[in-house]
């Protein structure tokens, strides 16, 4: 019972002590004691403040690090998106440039009707008996493409349609060994046949010995035989092979078309081939 009374008296004693301390503080009697206490706890308080400041800075650093990581991730995403957009814009610009050249060619040659097509495949196969070099384009019977139609770019002759499917067609390139194009040397007016050479080159063959041809001259289609229109650029003579005892002279021709990087082509749809060159004389041995 007595313990209970003591426990009930404790709050009153604390209140009284607190009130007394406040009164003594106000009248200044506790100032010496407070100074001593402050001198004792000041180093501890300073260290505590330093520690608290360090902890605060560490926490802020962690928060800043998290923010920087988020910002860095956002910037990486934006950079990736801009990189993709830049690549797409460059591709679109390059494609527009190619299409402008094709359009300029079509305008400069208004005699023919054209269908523009994309190159969707390149097929090169060879074995001891055959060498094939052709491309596949995304035009076929549905688009009015027929076998034998000439295929060009703004830089010159590519080949002719060899096989047509519903929505695609195979183009036999002039660099294929099975290809033969009746040709005309622009300056000298010498005639011959341009054949494909294994490995992708061109050879001007069947050129009469009595006509002088020179390196640098441009070779165009002659139109003879009705397989190709006249005047399409084939290439430029890079080397002449001439022997007096031979019936004909030959020349290496560098194509003006970049066959390694074909992307867009034009099909001349209103030219009807009249004959095939498969029965032309066989190619003589290359020097």
Distant-in-sequence, close-in-space partners of 57: CB < 8 Å, separation ≥ 6:
none
Short-list 147, 165, 152, CA closest to 115: 152
Banded model confidence at residue 63, pLDDT cuts 50, 70, 90: confident
Other CB atoms within 10 A of residue 26 CB: 9
80-136 pLDDT, tens digit each: 676 666 666 666 676 677 777 778 878 888 888 888 888 876 665 544 445 567 899
Short-list 171, 167, 132, CA closest to 149: 171
Residue 183, SS3? strand
Residue 243, SS3? coil
By residue count, the chain amounts to: 287
Short-list 138, 171, 145, 163, CA closest to 259: 171
Q: What is the DSSP string of 69-128?
A: HHHHHHHHHHHHHHHHHHHHHHHHHHHHHHHHHHHHHHHH-TTS-EEEEEEEEEEEEEET
The pLDDT, as a whole number, for residue 276 is 43
Give the residue-averaged pLDDT of 236-250: 91
Are β-strands 150-153 and 156-164 bridged in parallel, bridged antiparallel, or unpaired? Answer: antiparallel
Distant-in-sequence, close-in-space partners of 225: CB < 8 Å, separation ≥ 6:
182, 274, 275, 277
Q: Look up residue 203 and give its two tokens.
A: 């050879």
140-193 pLDDT, tens digit each: 999 999 999 999 999 999 999 999 999 999 999 999 988 999 999 999 999 999
Q: Look up residue 94 and give its two tokens.
A: 């390059």
7-41 pLDDT, tens digit each: 666 566 666 556 555 654 555 555 665 556 556 66
Distant-in-sequence, close-in-space partners of 150: CB < 8 Å, separation ≥ 6:
157, 159, 160, 228, 229, 232, 267, 268, 271, 273
Are β-strands 150-153 and 130-137 bridged in parallel, bridged antiparallel, or unpaired? Answer: unpaired
Largest CA distance in the chain: 145
Other CB atoms within 10 A of residue 221 CB: 24
């Amino acid at each position: 019972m007595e313990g209970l009374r003591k426990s009930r008296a404790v709050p009153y004693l604390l209140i009284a002590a607190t009130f007394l301390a406040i009164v003594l503080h106000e009248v200044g009697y506790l100032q010496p004691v407070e100074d001593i206490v402050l001198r004792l706890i000041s180093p501890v308080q300073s260290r505590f403040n330093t520690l608290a400041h360090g902890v605060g800075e560490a926490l802020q650093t962690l928060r800043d690090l998290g923010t920087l990581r988020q910002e860095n991730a956002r910037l990486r995403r934006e950079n990736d998106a801009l990189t993709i957009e830049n690549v797409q814009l460059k591709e679109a610009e390059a494609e527009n440039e190619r299409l402008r050249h094709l359009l300029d060619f079509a305008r400069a040659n208004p005699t023919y009707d054209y269908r523009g097509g994309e190159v969707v495949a390149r097929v090169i196969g060879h074995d001891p008996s055959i060498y094939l070099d052709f491309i596949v384009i995304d035009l076929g019977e549905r688009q009015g493409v027929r076998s034998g139609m000439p295929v060009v770019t703004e830089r010159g002759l590519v080949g002719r349609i060899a096989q047509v499917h519903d929505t695609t067609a195979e183009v036999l390139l002039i660099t294929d060994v099975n290809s033969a194009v009746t040709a005309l040397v622009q300056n000298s007016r010498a005639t011959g046949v341009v054949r494909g050479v294994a490995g992708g080159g061109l050879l001007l063959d069947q050129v009469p010995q009595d006509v002088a041809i020179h390196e640098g001259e441009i070779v165009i289609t002659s139109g003879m035989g009705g397989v190709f229109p006249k005047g399409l650029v084939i290439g430029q003579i890079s080397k002449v092979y001439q022997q007096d005892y031979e019936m004909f002279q030959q020349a290496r021709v560098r194509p003006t078309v970049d066959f390694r990087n074909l992307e867009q082509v034009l099909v001349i749809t209103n030219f009807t081939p009249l004959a095939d060159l498969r029965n032309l004389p066989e190619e003589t041995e290359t020097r």
